[in-house]
Amino acid sequence: MTTNPIRRTETPRALIMTSITQALALYDMAGQIERLRFQLRALPAAPAIPHLDSVTAQVHTLAGILTAVSDQVNHRLTLSSADAKKAVVAYSAVLVPLGEAMTELGRLQAEVTFFNFTTHLGYHNSPSDPERQHRYVNDIITGCCDAADEALEAAAAELQASAVELAPSPARVQAAAPARTPRAANSAQANPAPATPPPAVAPRTVKGR
């Protein structure tokens, strides 16, 4: 029966470090998604219309996250460790909610773009009731932001839960830690010098009274 050469060279300490690395990468990706959620929530609420530049920046950020997640999947498909395979499953699972969030942000960007085009550039088909159009756009923007936030929350939670599963337990870390050997005692401690006897003291003579 042949043995796997990779498994033979994997020490417990190396496996622990691999688990920690995978878990930290998942936590980092979840953190990026949480920061995007914070930025989306910072957009002005109705009846204000978000600035197109701000919305476009959020779309670009999410596109970068999606690309990074796809790259993580492709990279870990070439690895053979069990932790890498678990990470692939976690990254693949968040592609769906991230895609849903991208759809919502795309709708948000399109709606803000159209609103700016029709209201600020003298579009020939400008609505006859601008207030009604404004309320309509606000409803769409609010719905898109809420749906995107929900999808991003699900993606971040999935990554965080997977990171917890991959993170080694304290007992596992302690078991894999190399045993500590006592420090070598120095020569003075190993071979203590014989105690020097105190100098002889002459007995006192008792003087006569």
Residue type at 141?
Answer: I
User: Residue 171: helix, strand or coil by DSSP?
Assistant: helix
Alpha-carbon gap, residue 108 to 8, rounded angstroms: 53
Is it the case that residue 179 has pLDDT exceeding 80?
A: no
- pTM score of the predicted model: 0.73
**What is the arithmetic mean of pLDDT over 177-201?**
50
**Directed axis angle between helix 12-41 and helix 82-120, to 10°?**
10
Enter the tokens of residue 54. Answer: 């701000």
> Are 73 and 91 contacting, i.e. CB atoms less than 8 angstroms apart?
yes
**What is the arithmetic mean of pLDDT over 104-122?**
85
Burial pattern 3-35, b for ≥16 Cβ within 10 A else e, equals eeeeeeeeeeeebbebbeebbebbbebbebbbe
What band does 132 get if pLDDT is binned at 50, 70 and 90? confident
Q: Which pLDDT tens digit goes with each residue over 5-56? A: 444 455 666 667 778 888 999 999 999 999 999 999 999 988 899 999 999 9
What band does 185 get if pLDDT is binned at 50, 70 and 90? very low
| List of residues 6+ apart from 154 with CB closer than 8 A | 94, 97
Distance of CA 201 to the CA centre of its chain: 77
Residue 209 pLDDT: 41
Q: Which pLDDT tens digit goes with each residue over 54-97? A: 999 999 999 999 999 999 999 888 887 888 889 999 999 999 99
* Best CA proximity match to 168, nearest among 30, 20, 21, 26: 20
Residue 117 pLDDT: 83
